[in-house]
């Protein structure tokens, strides 16, 4: 009996953490089935993968978002998919941060990036919005760009005269989705590293990812500004 009690004590110590969220993991996108596979919804796709991987359902409506709470690598997290449409993403995040008193450096944001090919991603500790309007909303409302973000490549528009709104609201091809999937898989290790204070390690490990079976040159490391 004593052995069983000791086992119960050990399980109790190693079990899931409880209490309010310490981190917010937020994916950007547009709500509604018609946007589900669009380039602009790469952030939502990352959250859907994390939801399945971590067993955290994102279905409770709070803070102008679909949310879910759980534990990742021993840390309490709030998963968020803002339902405000992309240009107002900061409103949802601002409400959640204020409610839980979570500092901006403990917010991780996933978004799309038209400057990166499908299959590539780029992690940043901070920085400009790069023309991504969801990031712009967050930076404007929170008056800070000091939060880590993971930008998932969705590919450049086919020619300079192609309307950017039409491009980001267009559907990804099957081939693009296949190339992007490793980025979604990487999202789990990325958030664990960032929450562990190892953002530099995450950048070194994942910023050099290449699309499957493609050998194009890595994009330049500078920020590009594109209006979306």
DSSP state of 38: B
Rounded CA gap, 7 and 55, in Å?
25
Strand partners, 67: 60, 80
From 26, 38, 40, 80, active-site residue: 40
Which two tokens mark 126? 């901070």
Is the separation of the CB atoms in 93 and 149 below 8 Å?
Answer: no
Minimal CA–CA distance to 215: which of 179, 171, 187? 179
Give start and end residues of each alpha helix (H) in the chain.
Answer: 2-14, 42-54, 89-100, 133-142, 164-168, 174-195, 199-206
Active site residue 40: yes
The set of catalytic residues is 40
């Amino acid at each position: 009996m004593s052995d069983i009690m000791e086992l119960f004590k050990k399980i109790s110590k190693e079990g899931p953490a409880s209490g309010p969220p310490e981190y917010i993991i937020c994916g950007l996108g547009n709500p509604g089935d018609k946007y589900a596979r669009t380039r602009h919804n790469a952030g939502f796709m990352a959250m859907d993968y994390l939801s399945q991987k971590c067993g955290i359902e994102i279905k409770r409506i709070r803070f102008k978002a679909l949310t879910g709470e759980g534990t990742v690598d021993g840390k309490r997290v709030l998963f968020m998919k803002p339902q405000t449409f992309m240009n107002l993403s900061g409103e949802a995040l601002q409400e959640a941060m204020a409610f839980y008193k979570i500092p901006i450096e403990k917010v991780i944001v996933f978004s799309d990036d038209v400057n990166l090919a499908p299959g590539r991603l780029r992690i940043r500790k901070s920085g400009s919005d790069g023309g991504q309007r969801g990031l712009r909303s967050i930076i404007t409302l929170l008056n800070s760009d000091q939060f880590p973000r993971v930008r998932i490549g969705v590919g450049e528009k086919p020619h300079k005269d192609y309307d950017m709104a039409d491009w980001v609201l267009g559907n990804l091809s099957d081939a693009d989705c296949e190339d992007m999937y490793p980025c979604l898989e990487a999202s789990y290790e990325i958030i664990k590293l960032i929450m562990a204070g190892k953002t530099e390690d995450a950048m070194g490990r994942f910023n050099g990812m290449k699309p499957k079976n493609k050998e194009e040159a890595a994009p330049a490391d500078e920020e590009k500004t594109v209006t979306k």
